[in-house]
Amino acid sequence: MNKPLFQLVEMQIKEFFREPEILFWSFFFPIAIAGVLGVAFVNRGESVNTVAVIATQTNDAPIPSLQSVLEDTSGLRLVSMSLEEAELAMKRGKIALYVAKDSVNKGWNAYFDPLNSEANLAFLSLKNSLLEKNQTPILQASHITTPGSRYIDFLIPGLLALGIMNSCMWGIGWALVESRIKKLMRRMVATPMKRSTYLFSYISTRTFLAFIEALTVFLFAYFVFGVSIQGNIIAVLLTFLSGVAAFAGIAVLISSRAKNTQVGNGLLNAVVLPMTILSGVFFSYQNFPDWAVSIVQYLPLSMLADSMRAVFIEAATLADIAGKLLLLTLVGVLCFLAGLRIYKWY
């Protein structure tokens, strides 16, 4: 058996594992990011600190009073939510802290992750404001460290999404541009080998390698930080595949015409950089202005990261994320077809 597809995939995998630098950037680097950010940098980086105040059915009176007391507290915005809403908002990074009435000692309890410096800050300023105003309600700190609400829980699904994007964009997009620059592509497609086989080999190889990369990062996070998947593993896998489909398609489109390093690099960065920054991999984009959020949430990386995060920490079901996954796949297929139409083989 000496099938072209098999040989092409074998070639790319060998090429991959024979380049120590590539191995470093693909495996070690994401793990290093996860490690450094997970341990040291627990700030979620909200530009505005939103504090949720839990509305209680039994007694609604204290809430407006707390809000009126804290009206002019600088940098804090109070919103009322139900307990479920507040927990979800916390997992999504929309809020760093929520306050609920303590039924036992008639005071207030602030719930937050003590490792999150921003939450600590919010807690202190809340407490100060109350003291300054000589208010009777006493604010007590209640630490929550349940899995799913820590920064690392927020970070890892995002990093996996980022990894999928980078793996596809560079592993397919850049590899194709490079093979065009080296004139290897034109040499290969001058043989009877099918062009679809050629492109498909790159996509297959990347699906495999991106999976290994994602698995490595996840296992690291699992064993070192106890990050776990709350949702269904099938949903995670389908999210992964939709992500690969989306970015493989985009990569083929991006690589369809570029015939020198500068253009290829420029195009890839033009796609990769904005999404890396905007799509909420490291920090939630929920605090952007509303008009920005309405755009950013449909960036492919945002959709991928959000779906991944939903399954990881909110135990979202397949049905919950199906819309986004279909959209991702559609983006991939459309880009792939567009790329194929204008593809420059020679």
Partner 1 sequence: MNHNTKKPDEFLNYFYRVRIKITNQPLIILINIQNVTKSFKGFKAVDDISLTIQPGEYLALLGPNGAGKTTLVEMVEGLQYPDQGNITIKGMNWHQHKAPLRKLLGISLQETKFVDKLTVRETLNLFGSFYDLPKRRSEEIMEAVNLTHKQKTFTVNLSGGQRQKLALGVAIMNTPEILLLDEPTTGLDPNARRELWDILTKLKAQYHTTLILTTHYMEEAQYLCDRIVILDQGKILADGTLEELLDTYERGEIISFTLDKELPGQILSQIPGLHHFINRNERAKGELIVEDITRALPKFLSLVEAHHLEMRRLECRKKTLDDLFVAMTGRRLDE
The contact set with partner 1 (CB under 8 A) reads 2-4, 6-8, 11, 14-15, 18-19, 182-184, 186-188, 190-193, 346
Helix (H, G, I), strand (E, B), or coil: what is residue 346?
coil
Residue 137: how many CA atoms within 13 Å on its side-chain side? 23
Pick between residue 25 and residue 346 the one whose CB is nearest to partner 1: 346
Of the pair 1, 40, the CB lying nearest partner 1 is at 1
Of 92, 149, 81, residue with least CA distance to 116? 149
| Closer CB to partner 1, 11 or 39, in the complex | 11
- Residue 14 CB, nearest approach to partner 1 (Å): 6
Question: Shortest approach of partner 1 to residue 20 CB, angstroms?
Answer: 11
Nearer to partner 1, 28 or 345 (CB): 345
CB of 17 to partner 1, least distance (A): 9
Between 19 and 132, whose beta carbon lies closer to partner 1?
A: 19
Q: Are 252 and 339 in contact (CB under 8 A)?
A: yes
Contact 154, 91 (CB under 8 A): yes
Between 143 and 194, name the residue whose CB sits nearer to partner 1. 194
Q: Which is nearer to partner 1, 192 or 289 (CB)?
A: 192
In terms of Cβ atoms closer than 10 Å to its own Cβ (0-12, 13-18, 19+), residue 95 is buried
Strands 97-101 and 108-112: antiparallel
In the chain, the amino acid numbered 278 is L
Q: Which two tokens stand for residue 139?
A: 């604010």
Residue 183 backbone zone (phi > 0: left; psi -120 to 50: alpha; other: beta): left
The answer for residues whose C-beta is within 8 angstroms of residue 287's C-beta and 6 or more apart is 46, 47, 48, 50, 94
Q: Whole-number minimum distance, CB 339 to partner 1, in Å?
A: 20
Q: Please say which residue, 22 or 138, places its beta carbon nearer to partner 1.
A: 22
Strands (E), 55-138: 76-81, 97-101, 108-112
Min dist CB 192 to partner 1, Å, is 5
Nearest-approach distance from CB 345 to partner 1, in angstroms: 9
Q: Which of 177, 140, 330 is nearest to 263 (CA)?
A: 177
Please state the closest distance from residue 4 (CB atom) to partner 1, in A: 5
Backbone φ, ψ for residue 142 (5° rounding) = -120, 115
Q: Kindly give the pairing relationship between strand 108-112 and strand 49-54.
A: unpaired
Between helix 300-313 and helix 151-168 the angle, nearest 10°, is 140
CB of 8 to partner 1, least distance (A): 7
